[in-house]
Structure 1
Amino acid sequence: MGPPVSQSRAKLIIMVGHVHVGHETSGPTIGPKLWRYYDFGPKTVPPLVCIPGIAGTADVYYKQIMSLSMKGYRVISIDVPQVWNHHEWIHSFEKFLDSMNIHHVHIYGTSLGGFLAQIFAQHRPRRVKSLVLSNTFLETHKFAAATPWSPVVNWTPSFLLKRYLLTGIRDGPHEPFIADSVDFVVSQVETLSRDDLSSRLMLNVNVASVGSLMVPDSLITIMDTNDYSAVPQQLKDQVNERYPGARRAVLKTGGDFPFLSRPDEVNLYLQLHLRRVGVEPRPDLVQGFARNGSAGSSKDQKDGGNNFDNHPGDNGGPGSGGHDHETQNSGSESHDSDESIPTSTMLANTVLGTVSSTLQASLCVLLIHHYYESALYISSRQPFDV
C-alpha cells in the first residue's frame, strides 16, 4: 500500500489488493477473511465504497471507478468475502476498514450489497456517513421462503448454485447495453468458487431485517430502475417507505445492473450525492499514473430520461471530516513514481484483471482520452448543484 498522496505532487493512485483480515470478537470465533478490492483515487478524499449484489464482484463497478476517480473522488470496490451470516459480515467489514485505516465511509450498495450496507450502518452507525441504495431491500424473509433447500447450500454443487443465482436475471430480448451488462455479470459469476457462491446465497436467505438507522434520510439516496430487476417491486417499495426523506434517483431503464448499462446517469447521481453530503473531490490530485507495472500497488496483509427529486430542506451535512487518510503500514509494499505520460503498457495494466480483452482495449482508449482531457474538463466545468 502506497503512502498518502501529497498535495504538492499528486498521482492517480490505483490499488489492487487482497487483504487477510483476522478477527477478535467477544462472540463466536470468526476466522481470517480474504478481501479482494480495488482502490482508486486520491487517498485524502473520504471514500465511496461500492458493494455488489449476490452475482457481482469488485469488477462490476469499473465504470464508476474510472469516471469518479478521474474527477478526484476516491472509490473502493470490494468483493463480498466468504462470510456466512450477517453478524460475521459486520465484524469482517469493520476489520477490513480498520486494516485500511478508514474511519468513515460513504456506501453505494446494489441489491444484496444495499442490504449489507444498511445492516452495517445499523450496527456501526458512527462509521457510515451516507448511503446510496439501488434495487435493494429491507428484509430477507421472501428470499428465505423461496429457498427451502438453504440448509444444504454447503453441499450443493457449484454449477447448481450458479444456475440458481442466474435464474433471477431476466432472460429474453434486452436493449444492447442491458444485454451487455447481463453478459458481463454472468462472466463474473463464472469466476466465483463454490464457497463464494454458497456464502453469498446464505447472506441472501438468512432471515434478517434492517432496523432503524442513525443515518438521516437527508444523507440517503435511493436509485432504482423502473423497468425490471430481480428484487420484487414490493420490497423496493418498502425501502422507499422506510426512508421518506431520502433523495430519489429514478432510472427509466437499466435492468438489474444500471451501473453497467446506464453508467452516465448512475455516475452523475453518485456525484450529486457525494457533493450533497459534503465530499469534495480533489481533481488537482489526479495528474498521472503510477509508473510500475501494477499501476499502483498490490497488498497482502494479515491484520487482526431520468428524474432526480429534490426534497425541501434537504441540504445534507458534512459527509465526514478530513480524517480518512490512508497511512502506510510498516509491513506493506509501496511504490512511488515520477510524473510521466503513461505508455500503452502502463495503461493496459490499470484495467481490471478479469475483464475481457476487447473490454481491456476499450478501457485503454478511455484512459488515454481521460488523461489528456480530464484536467481541462474538470477545471472548466462547474459541478452540478443539488
Structure 2
Amino acid sequence: MKGVYSAPGDYIYFKSQVPLHKIPIGTKQWRYYDFGPKAVPPLICLPGTAGTADVCYKQIMSLSMKGYRVISVDIPRVWNHHEWIQAFEKFLDAIDVHHIHIYGTSLGGFLAQLFAQHRPRRVRSLILSNTFLDTRSFSAAMPWAPIVSWTPSFLLKRYVLTGIRDGPHEPFIADSVDFVVSQVETLSREDLASRLTLTADAASVGPLLLTDSFITIMDTNDYSAIPQQLKDEVSERYPGARRAQLKTGGDFPFLSRPDEVNLHLQLHLRRVGVEARPDLVPGIPKGGSGGSSSEEKEKKDPEDPAKDEDPANDDRGSSDNPLAESQLPHAPESSQSHSLDDQLVSNAIVCHFSNVDMMVSLHLGFLKNQHTIPTETVMRLCAEIFALHLLSFYVGSLYISLNCNRRVGQVV
C-alpha cells in the first residue's frame, strides 16, 4: 500500500485542526485525541487490533460539532489484561477524567468490558461493536503466541491483515480497509506484538455491575473478522441491551458507515443522560474577526437562533486552531434539506391563465421572515399552481383545435 494510498481529504483537514496528544504515564506512552467541551462526560473510543486513535476521526469531527467530548486513544504497549486495567486507570487520572462512556470495537470492545468489570464506578455506559467475551478461540488459532514478542514486524503485520476480508468490496468499505491498512503500517513491532498478546492471552469477561439498559450492541450484519458465534455470545450475555444493527459496514463501520454509527452513538449518549453542550463550542465568529463569512451569516438571518445550534467544536477555549462551523463539512442530511428549501424558495413560478399572464413569485426574503410556513405547504402550493397551468394549457389547446375544425368545415 505504500506509495499508492493517499489519505482522504477530510482526514487531512482533521489532522490540521485537531491536535494529537502524546504523554508518558509511568512506562507507557499514550497517544490520543481529545476534542469537545471539557464539561461533558467524554465518549472514549477504543479501536481494535489493527486500529489507532486516528480511525475514529469521523466520530470526533461529527460529535464534537454537536457539543460532545470525544477521546480516541491508541491501545498502549501492555502485555496482559491486568496491566491494561491499571494503565488505563492511570491515563484517566492523568487527563482528569473520572466517569466515562466507552465505544469499543473488536479488541477494544473486549478491553472495555474488562475495565467495566474491574472498575465499575468509572464506566457509566458501553457501546460494543463486533466484539467478544473471551479469548479462547483466538488463542487456539495462535499456537505461536508464546513467541509473538520475538516475531519480525512484517510477519505480525501480515497476520493482522489476514484477518481483514480480502476480495472485492463496495467502494465505501474498500476505502475503510485502505485507511486501516495504512494505519497498520504506522504501528511498530512492539505495538503489534502487544495487541496480539492481549488477543491470545487467556481471559474472559465476568459479570458486570452495569445494567443492560446502559449497554448498546452495534454489529454489522454482512461480515467481520469476529466470528458470528462470538458476537452472538455478547448478545446473549446482555439480553436487555439496546440493539443497533448495521446492514453493511464490514470490520470498520465507524469509517465505512460513519453517519449511521454517529447517529447511534448520539442516541446512546442521550439515552444514558449525557447532554451535549453546543453552547460551549467555540468557533463561530461573533465580532468582526470572521471577515466576510460572519457578515454573510448575519445577512442571512441575524435573529434566527436555530442557525447557531450546531457550531464547530474545540477542546480548549484558547486553542490556536478552533474548528469553525463554516469550515467543517456539514452532515449529509442537513445539507440536503437546506438545499431543497433553498431551491423551493428561490425559484419563481410563472402561470398562464388564458391570455392573462399571472406571475406568482415565492420570494426568498418573504419566506425566511415567515417562519410559520412549512415546506409541505410550499410544495403543495407549487403542485396546485403547476396543475392549474397544465389545465389552462389543455383548455387553450382544445379551444384552438375546435376553432380550426369549425373553420375548415366552413371552407369545405
1:115 aligns with 2:149: no
Which of these residues, 18, 21, 28, is aligned with residue 22 of structure 2? 18
Return the TM-score normalized by structure 1.
0.72
Match runs of 1:259-278 below 5 Å: 259-278=254-273
Partner of 2:202: 207
Aligned residues: 291
Q: Distance in 2 between matches of 1:122 and 1:129?
A: 12
Partner of 1:329: none
1:321-361 deviation line (CA, Å, top 9, x unaligned): xxxxx9xxxxxxx98358xxxxxxx58xx7xxxxxxxxxxx
Would you say the 8 A contact 2:30–2:76 is kept in 1? yes
SS in 2 for 1:254: coil
1:250-272 deviation line (CA, Å, top 9, x unaligned): 00000000000000000000000
Match runs of 1:1-386 below 5 Å: 14-22=18-26, 32-288=27-283, 336=318, 346=321, 367-370=327-330
Q: CA deviation at 1:370?
A: 4.6
Q: Distance in 2 between matches of 1:230 and 1:265?
A: 20
1:113-166 deviation line (CA, Å, top 9, x unaligned): 000000000000000000000000000000000000011111100000000001
Please give the root-mean-square deviation of Cα atoms over the aligned residues, in Å. 2.5
Q: CA deviation at 1:284?
A: 1.1
Higher Cα radius of gyration = 2
Would you say the 8 A contact 1:112–1:136 is kept in 2? yes
SS in 2 for 1:252: coil
Q: Distance in 2 between matches of 1:99 and 1:258?
A: 30
Q: Which amino acid aligns with 2:23?
A: V
Would you say the 8 A contact 1:129–1:219 is kept in 2? yes
Q: Distance in 1 between matches of 2:157 and 2:284?
A: 37
Q: CA deviation at 1:19?
A: 1.5
Higher relative contact order (CA 8 A, sep 6+): 1
SS in 2 for 1:172: coil
Structure 1 segments unaligned to the other structure (5+ residues): 1-12, 23-31, 291-325, 327-333, 339-345, 351-363, 381-386
1:293-316 deviation line (CA, Å, top 9, x unaligned): xxxxxxxxxxxxxxxxxxxxxxxx
1:13-34 deviation line (CA, Å, top 9, x unaligned): 9542112112xxxxxxxxx100
Greater fraction of residues in helix: 2
Q: CA deviation at 1:229?
A: 0.2
Q: Which amino acid aligns with 1:189?
A: V
Q: CA deviation at 1:85?
A: 0.4
Q: Which amino acid aligns with 1:106?
A: H
Q: Distance in 1 between matches of 2:186 and 2:165?
A: 20
SS in 2 for 1:45: coil
